[in-house]
Amino acid sequence: GVTRLMKLVYWLVPLPLCPLPVVRGIQLAQGLNFAMAAVKYIRYEQDLGKGKSAVGKPRPWAGLDGLVLAIAALCFIVLVNGAGQDHVQGAQEDEDGEGNNSRSHGGWRSWRRRWASAIAVGGDRVRAGVVFSIIRHPAALRELRAGPSRMRVVHISREAWKQGFIKGAVPQIPLSVLNSVVAVCKLTRDLFPEKESASATSVSVTMGAMNLVGCWFGAMPCCHGAGGLAGQYKFGGRSGACVAALGGLKLALGLVLGSSVLRVLASFPVGLLGVLLLFAGVELAIAARDMSSKAEAFVMLVCTAVSLVGSSAALGFLCGMVAHGLLLLRAWT
C-alpha cells in the first residue's frame, strides 16, 4: 500500500493480466464458503473453540439456541428485508414513495418498509442474541468485571516471524489482495455508485497498519474483507457512521468490561449467528452476477470450484488465470 503497488494491481484488474472474472470467482467462493458454514452453524451444534462441528449431534429444535429460533429469525429477515435490492432501485423506490404521498398509500408503504428494514438489521439480531445468552447462562452476567483488562506486549521470536511469514503471510497474499482489497474497492463501487469509492492504496495501508500494530498485543489477523462490507450493507449499514459506531461500541465494551464480556459472548446462540452469516455470504456471492458473457462466467466458476474444493484461494486464482489464458489463446488462433 505504501509503495502504491496495490494501486497498480487494482488498475490491472480489468485487463487480461488480472481479469475481473477471477476476482469475482474468489469473491463467489468466499460468499459460498460463508453460506455453507452458516448452514452448518444452523443445523449442528458447534465447538467454536476448536473450530469444528459436534459430529453426529444435530441442533435441537427447542431451546434458546434451537432450530426453531434460527428458522424464525431467518424467515423474519426474508419477509421484512426480502432478497435485498440494488442501490439504484432502492433510491428510485424512495423517490417514488415520496412522490405518491398524496395518492393511495405509497408514502405509507415506503415508510413502513424502511422502518421494518431498520428493525431487521443485524444490530437487533445481535442484541436479541445477547439477551438469549444471558438467559441461557445467568452466571456469566455475575462474572462481569468493571475496568479494562491488562494489556501486555507479546514477545515474537525470530523463528515465529519466519514461520508466520512462510506459513501465514505468503499463502494469504492472493486472498488478501483479491478479496480484502480489490474486491472491497469494486464492491464499494457496486453498492455506492454515486459516492467516491475507497482507493486500493488506502484500503491496503489501513489493513497493513492494523495488523502491524495489533500483532504486538496478541490480536487476531484483521482485514477489511468484502464479506464484512456485504454483510453491513445487507443489514442496513450504508454509511461510515455505522462502522464508526460499531468500533466505538467495541472500544467502550473493552474499556468498561474488558475480557470478562467474553463470558457473555461465549453463550451467544450459534444458530442465530449462522443466520447472520448466511445472509452476509449470500450478499457477497450475489456481487458475482455481473458476468456478461459465457466465457467470463466459465472462468469465474472454474476459479470458484477450485477454491471451494481445494480450500485455497491461491490455487483457485492460479486455475482461473490458466483458464482465462487458454480462452484468450483459443480466440487468437
Q: CA–CA separation, 258 vs 255, rounded Å?
A: 6
- pLDDT bracket for residue 65 (50, 70, 90): confident
Q: What is the CA radius of gyration of the chain?
A: 22
- pLDDT bracket for residue 246 (50, 70, 90): confident
Q: CA–CA separation, 22 vs 15, rounded Å?
A: 11
H-assigned helices in 82-168: 87-99, 106-120, 122-136, 138-142, 158-163
**196 closest CA partner among 134, 259, 240, 151:** 240
Percent of the chain surpassing pLDDT 90: 5
Lowest model confidence (mean pLDDT) among 31-45, 121-135, 254-268: 121-135
Q: CA–CA separation, 79 vs 283, rounded Å?
A: 16
Q: CA–CA separation, 130 vs 136, rounded Å?
A: 10
Output phi, psi for 58, to 5 deg. Answer: -65, 155
Calculate mean pLDDT across residues 64-91: 75
Calculate mean pLDDT across residues 44-66: 73
107-165 pLDDT per residue, tens: 555 544 544 444 444 556 667 777 777 777 777 777 788 878 787 888 888 888 888 88
pLDDT of residue 252: 87
| Side-chain half-sphere exposure of 15, counting CA atoms within 13 A | 6
167-189 pLDDT per residue, tens: 878 877 777 777 778 778 877 87
Lowest model confidence (mean pLDDT) among 47-56, 206-215, 314-323: 47-56
Lowest model confidence (mean pLDDT) among 51-55, 172-176, 233-237, 315-319: 51-55
Residue with cell 506459513: 167
Q: Per-residue pLDDT for 302 more than 90?
A: yes
3-state SS class at 53: strand
Q: Taking the domains of the chain in order of start, what are their residue ranges?
A: 5-332
Q: Per-residue pLDDT for 203 more than 50?
A: yes
Average pLDDT, the chain: 76
Calculate mean pLDDT across residues 33-58: 76
* Range with top average pLDDT, 217-221, 230-234, 302-306: 302-306
Do the Cβ atoms of 315 and 171 come closer than 8 Å? no
The residue length of the chain stands at 333
pLDDT of residue 52: 55
Q: CA–CA separation, 220 vs 125, rounded Å?
A: 25
- pLDDT bracket for residue 81 (50, 70, 90): confident
Q: CA–CA separation, 320 vs 333, rounded Å?
A: 20
